[in-house]
Amino acid sequence: MTQLSSCPDNDQLLLLLDEKLSGVSEIQLVQHLDHCLRCQSRLEALVNKSGREVIPAMSQSPSLPAIWHLAGNGHRSPSENGLPVRDENAFQQIENSFPGESTGLRLLERIGQGGMGVVLKAHDLALERPVAVKFISPQLAEDPAARQRFLREARAAAGITHSQVVTIHSVNDRQPFPFFTMEWIDGLPLNGWLDGNRLLETETLIDIGCQLARGLAAAHDGGVIHRDIKPENILLDSRSGQVKITDFGLARVMDEYRLTHTDVFLGSPGFQAPESLETVDSVDQRSDLFSLGCVLYFLCAKVPPFEHPSLIRSLQHAARGIYRPLREVAPRTPASLERVIVQLLRPDPKERFPDAREVERQLQSCLRSVIPPPVSPRPAQDSLSLKVRTRQGSRIDQRPNAWRWPAWGLLLVGALAPVFFLLGNLFAGGALAERQEASVNRDLPGQRRVEPVEDTRVQATAFSGKHKEMKRATRISKDPLMPFVLEVADQEPTGFRTLNGAIAAAGDGATIRVDSSERFEFYQPITVPHGIRLLAAESRRPIFDVYLAGNETEDEEDPDHEMEDDDNGDGEGLLAFLQLQGRTTIRGIDFQLHPVEEIECGLIQTDAPLVAEDCGFSVPSEGIALVSQSEVDLEFVGCRFQVPAGLAIGGEADQEGQATFRNCLIAGDVVLRLATESPFRVLMENCTCFSNRFAELFPGIDFEEEFLGEPFSGGTSFFQFDVQHSVLCTREGLLVLEADDGLFQRQHRRFLGWKGEGNLLVDPGVILWHEDGYEEMDEISWCQGLATWKKKFVEVDSLTDPAPFRESLESLYVKLENRQGLSGKALELKEELKSGAGFCPESTDRISSSVD
Amino acid sequence: MDATRASLLVRIREASDGEAWGSFSRIYGPIIYQFGKRLGMQEADAADLVQDVLNEVNRSIGRFEYDPLIGRFRSWLFKIAHRAAIRMRKKEHRVHAAVLEPTARQLADEVVDPFDQESIWETEYQRELLAWAAERVRNQVSPRTWTAFWRTAAEGEKPQQVAAELGLSPGAVYVAKNRVTKRLAEKIREVDDTA
């Protein structure tokens, strides 16, 4: 057969690809392709022109799951439950050649397969217990060097005895497949476990980090480096809840095999230290620390920091330290933990922590900072890190980063209140505020008051007949130990030691004055069966710290239930601190909710009209409902809400309701969440609202349309929303109305009064979301001007967690910057934002004085 | 090819064309399923998502204008899947009318950024389509051709080395690799408008 004298043209090549050439021509062409480099690449180019988009995975480094799938290794790609995909052939080979019970083992089931080995569950006949057996993979077994290395690494790893390391029982050099046995762990690899239980609490996560660091420290002490720390190699024992590291050193077997057999480096993208790209020997214990950092990042963010289908590319990113900031991906991550992870992920090993023990120490201190101690003794006053005095002293002294979470320096500047207050650090390591009133309660230096539980219960149950006696028995006036002063017309004020005591003694409409600026701790919900006025005494600023744990005792002896017999039991499902059953006024009190467990709880639940003036409501990031229940009239004046999950209003009442917000600051991922079955009206005047989540799921104001019932009488609107002179700063939009059936478009849109005079709406002011996509309406109109804005900045500084709201402001700046043709106030505002007003804590003084 | 592809979309508009629906859900079901899983759903939820999305497609395919220039069927499908996923999340977490779900914050953290969702969608889409096509193309070629393709295109091995091991000439390996790639591309183009 003769060879082609010249290169074929494109048509010829295409015909070849489509198998349309005659046998002889095809053979000639193929022979030509054997050595014509130019035609080889032409052929590729021809196909790639059409196939580029189809098979991107193949033009670069392929993504592993796609490859598994493609290779026909099982129908579902790997790790349905975190276990590697199996190559049943490998199992078959191993099972067929297994010597049998002479080894003391009976093979039970196939578990999984990794790069270098195959794992089966087996029964240890002598000790009568399950064990895991790892065989070298048939492919590697053919290489004597790999076999030796496999056995050597297994023996080295067998020397590690630690509760966080999977124990190796025996190492067995059998032909054809050497194996070793390990303890059997009932559980799943971390990645598999995460698939099913997606939410890892921060504490759990840090605890896992500590355990891993301990396990690594033990291994490193014994001179063993893991080399391939990744979620697949970390087992979570479902019995003990402990994590155990497996496959110590075995990655090396694979590395060396690959280095000698192919020039392709393969490993676990996403978790490998950059130095592992160099030589096998450039890896040391700090490489494991890098991988540990990747695992921690993965646990927080659910994606590895360097996730690229190409291992090389991901290692390049690792080498340059290119990854998305953790708190951008997982905003819930505490800053202290992020700092540890950042240091672990340093490209230069010298900049990481020196050893695993140090990592554990660092993680332990993170752990301490995230667990709020509900009943721990307060630190002495000389550990103050934040000092604020009252206005006369007018000196605000803050740590530069005191506003950053979790150092919750909380400085509240009431929109109406003429006094600055400090709510101290909530954490054990933090400080207690120095207070003007400290002298009043000298007998309780640096301590919080705890609302005694027993006392609460007794008095609440004794309420019905005995309150007169109790009143007499506890009548003491002006005693700092009796800060709850009950005022009844024509009677001497009566002091009570506990709020519950005062409430129990009060009649309908009575006034209880809180004559203290203490922090009070509450551990039980309080039901107020009638109207009260709960007011802070003149120039007093009490703080109610509410710690609510599960209410498992609800069914028995719960007096609340007897009292609300005629109620329809709306409250089920919500454990609220104050359960209000009569018309209530609250003034000048700051409430802070600290759920003890992750339970559904809130601060206030009301079935009756409520007025709150100059109050602070703060719930932690776990996102617990703050105010809820019934379409009654709610009025908030000069209140500050820090409510990540927003204010929930809703219920099943059969009357029209209304919520009014005046001079309020509402900060949260959702501003308002409305689920009302009756017509409802929201009025907002002079308010500032920040929400910072993706609008699609967490709009500034969320309607749960499925709960909308009857329209207002004489109208077609279920819901009215009027905003006047307010700043509504939301990340992606104020309103998202999901209107599958066109409900909002047809009936609601025109009743939304949000375009009222004097509002500042951060664009895209409104997103209407309906069938055919998004409709954005850019609306910016202007409020009173910069004075207002400056005031808002100060308020932002007063939030427990201002960072997200600063981000809102920053994104506002970016939006303004990108907007063409800014003029007048908008331009001024942009300049103001640019010059940093409100962004740096140091400017607080300046701004606050200008507000005064 | 264009005709086939357009016709599958056209055919599923005819509610009565059960066969077209069958192929449609066989192709796109796994994509939606994997998408749901990657968003962190449990198996059952991901299966629900598939149902939701297919129902939605069924309802609104009539409104999808197929235009080879603009019509990105995959983006359209993504929008539907994305919204269905959000609806499911909201429903899942909506405990009581009056009570704000306690996990709103967690939910927010858990929810994947829409931008990332789109890239997840792209990945799953490509991966599943590729797998779907591979399953079909693989049966049309000899095992040796497939192996030659596989080891060169997917595993990145050198054609010369693969050729030696498979007893083929290097030219034959090049031809095998590109033939299969081309077929895969064509197969995928039968059902996807962007490839």
Give, rounded to a whole angstrom, the gap between the first and last alpha carbons of chain A: 99
Q: Which two tokens stand for residue A25?
A: 């021509």
B3 vs A255, higher pLDDT: A255
- pTM of the shown model: 0.39
A-chain residues near B98 (CB < 8 A):
570, 574, 628-630, 648-652, 675
Residue % of chain A over a pLDDT of 90: 6
CA A624 from centroid of its chain's CA atoms: 14
Residue A65 touches chain B, beta carbons under 8 Å: yes
Taking CB atoms and an 8 Å limit, are B101 and A645 in contact across chains?
yes
The pairing of beta strand A105-113 with beta strand A117-124: antiparallel
**pLDDT in the model for residue A295:** 92
B102/A698 Cβ within 8 A = no
Give mean pLDDT, residues A291-312.
80
- What pLDDT is stored for residue A254 in this prediction? 61
Look at A71 and B154 and tell me if their CB atoms are within 8 Å.
yes
CA distance A522 to A503: 14
> How many angstroms separate the CA atoms of B117 and B95, rounded?
25
- The alpha carbon of A215 is separated from its chain's Cα centroid by a whole number of angstroms, namely 27
Q: Which of residues 92-151 of B touch A (CB under 8 A)?
A: 94-111, 113-114, 123, 126-127, 129-131, 133-134, 138, 150
pLDDT band at A837 (very low <50, low <70, confident <90, very high): very low
Q: Considering only CB atoms, which chain A residues are within 8 Å of B125?
A: none
Q: Do β-strands A510-514 and A532-536 pair in parallel, antiparallel, or remain unpaired?
A: parallel
Which value, to the nearest 10 degrees, does the dihedral of the CA atoms of residues A827, A829, A833, A837 take?
140
Model confidence band, residue A279 (pLDDT cutoffs 50, 70, 90): low
Nearest residue, CB atoms, A694 vs list B42, B96, B114: B114
Which string of b and e fits B86-116 if b means at least 16 CB within 10 Å? Answer: bebbbeebeebbbbbbbbbbbbbbbbbeeee
Q: Do A697 and B111 touch (CB under 8 A)?
A: yes
Which residues of A, range 165-224, sit inside 8 Å of B by Cβ? 195-196, 198-199
User: Above 90 in pLDDT, residue A524?
Assistant: no
A43 near A14, Cβ under 8 Å?
A: no
If DSSP states are collapsed to H, E and C, what string results for A641-702? EECCCCEEEEECCCCCEEEEEECCEEECCCCEEEEECCCEEEEEECCEEEECCCCCCCCCEE
**Which member of A34, A66, A623 has the closest CB to residue B105?**
A623
- How far CA B161 is from CA of A38, A262, B166, B178, in Å, comes to 19, 10, 9, 17
Q: Who contacts A133 (Cβ-Cβ below 8 Å, separation ≥6)? A: A105, A107, A119, A120, A121, A122, A179, A180, A181, A182
pLDDT at A696 over 70: no
Does the pLDDT of residue A82 top 50, yes or no?
no
Longest CA pairwise span in chain A (Å): 123
pLDDT at residue A216, as a whole number:
93
Instruction: State which residue of chain B sits closest to A27, comparing Cα positions.
Output: B172
Q: Is A432 helix (H, G, I), strand (E, B) or coil?
A: coil
Within 8 A by CB and 6+ apart from A600, the residues are A573, A574, A575, A624, A625, B95, B99, B102
The most confident of A316-330, A475-489, A649-663, by mean pLDDT: A316-330
Residue-wise pLDDT tens digits, A585-624: 999 898 888 766 656 677 888 888 899 998 888 876 544 5
Kindly state the average pLDDT of the residues B147-172: 84
Predicted local confidence at residue A811, as pLDDT: 58
pLDDT digits (tens, 9 = 90+) for A121-152: 898 888 888 899 988 888 778 778 778 878 88
Work out the minimum CA distance from B67 to partner chain A, whole angstroms: 17
Cα B12 from Cα A175, distance rounded (Å): 58
DSSP-assigned states of every residue in A565-597: TTS--TTTT-EEEEEE-S-EEEES-EEEEEESS
Cα torsion B91, B96, B101, B107 to 10°: value is -10
pLDDT in tens, A181-202: 999 888 778 877 776 545 577 8
The answer to whether residue A478 scores a pLDDT higher than 60 is no
Burial class of residue B121 in the structure, from the number of CB atoms within 10 Å of its CB (0-12 exposed, 13-18 middle, 19+ buried)? buried
- Mean pLDDT for A466-494 is 57
Contacts of A105 (CB under 8 A, 6+ apart): A122, A123, A124, A125, A131, A133, A181
Q: What is the reported pLDDT for A214? A: 93
**A749 in helix, strand or coil?**
helix
Residues A704, A673: Cα–Cα separation, whole Å: 8
Is B62 or A26 the better-scoring residue by pLDDT? Answer: A26
Closest by Cβ to B97, choosing from A48, A598, A652:
A652
Kindly report which listed range (A61-75, A194-208, A426-440) carries the lowest average pLDDT score: A426-440
The upper half-sphere exposure of residue A60, i.e. CA atoms within 13 Å in the direction of its Cβ, equals 13
